[in-house]
Copies of this chain bind each other. A is one copy, B any other.
Amino acid sequence: MFRKLLTFDEAKKAIDDQFKPVFLGEEEAVLLEAYNRVLNEDVVSGLDIPPFNRSTVDGYAVKAEDTFGAEENQPATLEVSGAVNVGEQPNVKVAKGEAVEIVTGAPIPEGADAVVMVEDTEREDAELKVFGAVTVNENVMKKGSDIKKGAVVLKKGQVLGSSEIGVLAALGLTKVKVLKIPMVAVLSTGAEVTEPGKELPSGKIYDINAYSISTAVIESGGKPVYFGVVPDDKAALSRALQTAVASADMVITSGGVSVGPRDYTPQIVDSLGKPGIVVYGIAVKPGKPTTVGFVGDKPVFSLPGHPTSALLIFYLLARPLIQRLAGRPATGMKMVRAFAGSRMFSAKGRRTFVMVKLEFDKDCRLIAEPVETGASGAITTLANADGFVEIAENEQFVDADEEVLVVLFRGSAARA
């Protein structure tokens, strides 16, 4: 088994080298449920838009040549032979010397090739005076000029927002082919944890990670499969991991690593299939005992038991894989610039991530104040940390008042 501690960058590379964003299949979604999904087809227009020559103003449909030479002092005089409203097929034609009343959006009647704006006319009964000339096609939106039948309107891989859903509706579609959402199995291990909702035995604490990581999976564009707490014995863990790998596209466990002889997960992952474990420990703080393996194409992450560390490593390493499986760009998390509220120390030779709380000081400067991590304060940290500051391996500390980039835990939905 591969046991060298990797640097953060080496670990990322080892994961990237092994990871294939395999095609998870497609499904059909009705339009309202297609919101924020990833399109899995090029959408080709089945119709011309507009489907007919359309007036872009309120006025009169005419033959343009009947208006040539008309001006303020020398109007052309035409005879109004009918009217066309929106939404109806015109039952009138425009002959030489005639005009047909028309509103914005209504189809141009046969025989007409332009529309005179109502502001440029004066009408008395059927007699229409036109005080300005129009050219052929003036105030007419030609059939197919917006979208031609057969044109590719949306491309495979686009994320469907309000505008794109609107475009699909314009084509008359109510269903669309979208990529399947990656299923991510989430389970916790460790003798000390019990599932929330159950009675808490003496000496145990409630498991946090299966829930917090499941919601982080949703946030990243995946669908969590909640396995809860798996008993801390090798046979049970092996069965659970086998089921997880078989039923999901990716697996995330937490806890149970770095506990010496009880460190079952990596052994089981190695036994389930090639290539097995590719990252066995990372020179980061926190999150050092992280292991990452692959069973065939399926990534299996084993995160630390400490809730904040588990969530941090999830965001840094697992989230981009979920996004790529979902067919989305692996967008970074939101960041803000702030000033260090006090000196932040790094762990020697390890990439360090310092949890911080953001607050404005009296001068309205955004201050990043470190929050306590470590074994104590686990839940308080989780509740209070707004994000983290990264310190490189070769830096000793970030000094108070230095400008820092804070990566935000909240507001980083892939589904935004």
* A positions within 8 Å CB-CB of B: 31-32, 35-36, 47, 49-52, 54, 56-57, 85-90, 103-107, 141, 145-147, 153-154, 159-174, 190-193, 196-198, 200-216, 218-219, 224, 226, 232, 259, 305, 307, 311, 374-380, 382-383, 385, 409-413, 415-416
A196 adjacent to B173 (CB under 8 Å):
yes
Q: What's the number of copies of this chain in the assembled complex?
A: 2
A203 adjacent to B52 (CB under 8 Å):
yes
For residue A199, give the distance in angstroms from its CB to the closest CB of chain B. Answer: 9
B383 adjacent to A192 (CB under 8 Å):
no
B56 adjacent to A374 (CB under 8 Å):
yes
A162 adjacent to B383 (CB under 8 Å):
no
For residue A261, give the distance in angstroms from its CB to the closest CB of chain B. Answer: 11
Chain B contacts of A51 at CB under 8 A? 200, 204-205
Q: A87-B203, A172-B197, A416-B416 are in contact. Are A161 and B211 (CB under 8 A)?
A: no
A-B pairs with lowest CB-CB distance, top 7: A166-B212, A87-B191, A56-B375, A416-B416, A86-B192, A174-B197, A169-B211
A209 adjacent to B50 (CB under 8 Å):
no
Q: How long is the Cα–Cα vector from A86 to B174 in the complex, in angstroms?
A: 55
Sample of 27 A–B contacts (CB below 8 Å): A31-B196, A35-B218, A50-B205, A51-B204, A87-B190, A87-B192, A87-B201, A104-B375, A105-B205, A105-B375, A146-B376, A146-B378, A147-B379, A161-B219, A162-B212, A162-B213, A163-B311, A165-B214, A166-B215, A169-B210, A169-B211, A170-B307, A171-B196, A171-B206, A413-B413, A413-B415, A413-B416
Q: How long is the Cα–Cα vector from A212 to B382 in the complex, in angstroms?
A: 37
A383 adjacent to B32 (CB under 8 Å):
no
Determine the main DSSP class of A at the interface with B: loop
Q: How long is the Cα–Cα vector from A174 to B198 in the complex, in angstroms?
A: 9
B192 adjacent to A385 (CB under 8 Å):
no
Chain B contacts of A307 at CB under 8 A? 166, 170
For residue A35, give the distance in angstroms from its CB to the closest CB of chain B. Answer: 4
Q: A89-B203, A205-B49 are in contact. Are A32 and B215 (CB under 8 A)?
A: yes
Q: How long is the Cα–Cα vector from A352 to B32 in the complex, in angstroms?
A: 30
Chain B contacts of A207 at CB under 8 A? 169
For residue A283, give the distance in angstroms from its CB to the closest CB of chain B. Answer: 19
Q: How long is the Cα–Cα vector from A174 to B206 in the complex, in angstroms?
A: 11
Chain B contacts of A171 at CB under 8 A? 196, 206
**A56 contact from B31, B203, B259, B376, Cβ within 8 A:** B376
Q: How long is the Cα–Cα vector from A209 to B413 in the complex, in angstroms?
A: 26
**A164 contact from B36, B383, B415, Cβ within 8 A:** B383
Chain B contacts of A170 at CB under 8 A? 196, 205-206, 208, 307, 378-379, 382
For residue A223, give the distance in angstroms from its CB to the closest CB of chain B. Answer: 10
